[in-house]
Amino acid sequence: MSVRVDLNISLDGFMTTTDQTPESPFGEDWPRLVGAYVATRTFRRRVLHDESGEGTTGVDDAYAQAYFAEVGAEIMGAGMFGLHDHPDDPDWRGWWGDEPPFRVPVFVLTHTPRPALEMAGGTTFHFLSAGPTEVLERALEAAGGKDVRIGGGAAVVHDFLRAGLVDHLHVAIAPILLGRGARLWDGLRGLESGYAVTAETAPSGTIHLTFQR
Amino acid sequence: MSVRVDLNISLDGFMTTTDQTPESPFGEDWPRLVGAYVATRTFRRRVLHDESGEGTTGVDDAYAQAYFAEVGAEIMGAGMFGLHDHPDDPDWRGWWGDEPPFRVPVFVLTHTPRPALEMAGGTTFHFLSAGPTEVLERALEAAGGKDVRIGGGAAVVHDFLRAGLVDHLHVAIAPILLGRGARLWDGLRGLESGYAVTAETAPSGTIHLTFQR
C-alpha cells in the first residue's frame, strides 16, 4: 500500500505542453510527449476501449500495465477533471468519457465541492477541498489496502512530492525538448535521498525512471 | 570528422554545481555529478595517470573511452582553463596539471589572447578571441581529420548547440536532483529534430543519452 505518481515528461523536464490552440486542443507537442504510452496495448485497451489486441508490447507496455495495477484510489486536481474549463456547469461529468479508465474512487481537489458522481465501470468522482495530507487519508481509506495514485496535474503532483508523501515515482521521459511548460523537477533538490533510483530505456526511446522508497 | 560534446548533468538538467566554498572548492555536489565517470578505469588512467588498472569497466567506461577516442582538437571557454580566477597572471598554465589529459591542440576562447602554451604529453593551448564558427574552423584544421570536442563550460557549449554546430552530443545524466546551476537544455526546444536520440542506462545509475546527427 503505497502512494505513487506516474508522469510523462520531456528530456528538459516539462510535464505540460503549452502550444494548444482552438484548432489543436491538445497541441502538437502532446502526442509526442505521451505517444509511446498511448501506443501501448494496455493504454488502447484500458483508456480507448480498444479490444483488438493492437498496440505495442514490451517495456513501455509493462509500465502501462503497472500504471493500472494495484491502484485502489486516485487523487487529481480540479483542472485534470476539467473544472477549470467548466467552473459553473453543475452537469459537467469530466472529460474521461462515460466509462473512465480509473475504475476506482477518484478524489478531485476543488475549492467548490459538488456531489459525488458515480460513473460506469467502477469510477466514482468525489470532490473535496482539502490539503494533501487530508485527501491522502481519505484516499488510502478508500483504496482498501491497494495503492493510491496522485494523477496530476502538475501543481498537485508538486504538492505531494514536496510534502514527502510519495513512495513511488515513475517518470517516462520522452526524447524530445519542449523548452516550455511546467517543470517537474523545480524545487525538488535532493529528492533522490531516501529513494532507490533506477532507469530503463524502451525501444521507443522513452527512458523510464523510477524513484522507489 | 564530427563536432562532439560530452557533458555530465543532473536529472533536472544542471551541468554546473553552485555549492563551492573555500573549504570545498568543487563543492559537495560535484563528486556526485561526475562520480560514475571519475570512477572509470579510463578516467583514472587518462586523467589521474593511474596505471594500476583499477576503476570500473562496463557501460560507463565504454563512454569514457569514446570520450577520448578520435578527438583531434578541443575547444573550451576561458573559465575552463581557469582564466576567470587568474585573469592577470601571465604565468598561469591552467589547472589541468603539467601533462593535461587532452593530448591534442586545445583552443581556449578568451577576450585577452596570450601566447600559445605547449605542455607535456601533446597538449598545446592556443588562446583566441573568436566566435563559434571561426574557432571551429581553426580547430577542424588542427584536428587533421579527427573529431573536434567542445569541452565546456556551459556558455560555450550552449553557443555551439544553439548555432547548430554540434554533430554528436553525449550527456551522462546522474540520478540526482541539483535544483540549481546552469541549465543545459534552456533555449534548445526542438533540438532533437535532425538527430537520432538514443539512451542507455549503466549499472551506476547513470543514463547515457546520445544525440547523433
Q: What is the ipTM of this complex?
A: 0.87
Q: Do B179 and A188 touch (CB under 8 A)?
A: yes
> Which pLDDT does position A14 carry in this prediction?
95
pLDDT confidence of residue A134: 96
Distance of CA A87 to the CA centre of its chain: 21
pLDDT band at A88 (very low <50, low <70, confident <90, very high): confident
Least confident range from A134-138, A164-168, B67-71: namely B67-71
User: For A4, phi and psi rounded to 5 degrees?
Assistant: -125, 155
Give the pLDDT confidence score for residue B76 in this predicted structure: 96
pLDDT for B88: 84
Could you tell me the three cell numbers for B48? 589521474
Residue A49's pLDDT band (boundaries 50, 70, 90)?
Answer: confident
- Cβ proximity of B148 and B74 under 8 Å: yes
A21 vs A200, higher pLDDT: A200
Q: Is B34 an interface residue toward A (CB < 8 Å)? A: no
Q: How far away is chain A from the Cα of B56, in angstroms, using its nearest Cα?
A: 19
Is the pLDDT confidence value at B16 over 90?
Answer: no
Contact between B156 and B182 (Cβ < 8 Å): no
Does position B101 have pLDDT exceeding 80, yes or no? Answer: yes
Q: Which CATH superfamily is domain A3-212 in?
A: Dihydrofolate Reductase, subunit A (3.40.430.10)
Scan for cell 589529459, then name that residue.
B101
The confidence score (pLDDT) of residue B172 equals 97
- Quote the radius of gyration of chain A (alpha carbons, Å): 17
Grid cell digits, residue A166: 510519495
Please tell me the predicted confidence (pLDDT) of residue B186: 92
Over residues B122-134, the mean pLDDT reads 95
Chain A residues lying within 8 Å of B7, measured CB to CB: none
User: Which residues in chain B are closer than 8 Å to A175, comparing Cβ atoms?
Assistant: 192, 197, 199, 209
By C-alpha distance, the chain A residue nearest B205 is A198
Give the confidence band of B176 by pLDDT, cuts at 50, 70, 90.
very high
Mean pLDDT over B87-109 rounds to: 91
Q: CB–CB of A11 and B207 under 8 A?
A: no
Closest CA to A148 of A114, A106, A94, A112: A106
Task: Identify the bridge partners of residue A40 per DSSP, sorted by sequence position.
Answer: A56
Taking residues A107-112, report their average pLDDT.
Answer: 94
CA distance B15 to B5: 12
Q: What's the mean pLDDT when you consider all of chain A?
A: 93
Confidence of residue A69 (pLDDT cuts 50, 70, 90): confident
Is it the case that residue A82 has pLDDT exceeding 80?
yes
B141 min Cα distance to partner chain A (Å): 32
- Output the 3-class SS for chain A: CCEEEEEEEECCCECCCCCCCCCCCCCCHHHHHHHHHHCEHHHHHHCCCCCCCCCECCHHHHHHHHHHCCEEEEEEEHHHHCCCCCCCCCCCCCCCCCCCCCCCEEEEECCCCCCCEECHHHCEEEEECCCHHHHHHHHHHHHCCCEEEEEECHHHHHHHHHCCCCCEEEEEEECCCCCCCCECCCCCCCCCCCCEEEEEECCCCCEEEEEEC
How far is Cα B3 from Cα B62, in angstroms, rounded to an integer?
Answer: 19
- A139 band by pLDDT with thresholds 50, 70 and 90: very high
Mean pLDDT of B30-50: 92
**Chain B residues whose beta carbon lies within 8 Å of the beta carbon of residue A198:** 201, 205
For the record, the C-alpha cell of B79 comes out as 573559465
d(CA A155, CA A177): 21
Any idea which residue has 553557443 for its cell? B159
pLDDT cut 90: percent of chain B above it = 76
pLDDT at residue A71 tops 90 = yes
Q: Which three cell numbers stand for residue B192?
A: 532533437
What is the pLDDT confidence band of residue B200, given thresholds at 50, 70 and 90? very high
Instruction: List the single range of A71-85, A171-185, B81-95, B121-135 with lowest mean pLDDT.
Output: B81-95
Single-letter code of the amino acid located at B174: A
Q: Report the alpha-carbon distance of residue A63 to residue A202 in Å, rounded.
A: 10
Please judge whether B189 and A207 are an interchain contact, meaning their C-beta atoms are less than 8 angstroms apart. no
Query: What are B134-151's pLDDT values in tens digits?
Result: 999 999 999 999 999 999
The pLDDT mean for chain B works out to 93
Residues of A in contact with B191 (CB under 8 A): 177
Report the gap between the CA of B189 and the closest CA in chain A (Å): 4
Option in A185, A187, A201 nearest B199 (CB): A201
In chain B, at which residue ranges do the beta strands (DSSP E only) sit? Answer: 3-10, 71-77, 105-109, 117-118, 124-128, 147-152, 168-174, 196-201, 207-212
Q: How far is B28 from chain A (nearest CA, A)?
A: 12
Q: Percentage of chain A with pLDDT > 90? A: 76
For the ranges A2-11, A137-146, B82-91, the lowest mean pLDDT is seen at B82-91
pLDDT at residue A15, rounded to an integer: 92
> What are the residue boundaries of the structural domains of chain A, listed by start?
3-212
Compare all CA atoms of chain A with the CA of B179 and give the residue at the minimum distance: A189
Is the confidence at residue B25, as pLDDT, over 80? no
Q: For chain B, how big is the Rg over CA atoms in Å?
A: 17
For residue A179, the distance in angstroms to the closest alpha carbon of chain B comes to 4
pLDDT above 70 as % of chain A: 100
pLDDT at B152 (0 to 100): 87
- Residue B204: Cβ within 10 Å count: 18
Provide the grid cell at B80: 575552463
Which residue does chain A place closest to B177, by CA atoms?
A189
Q: Is the pLDDT of residue A91 over 80?
A: yes
Query: Across the interface, do B199 and A198 touch by the CB < 8 Å criterion?
Result: no
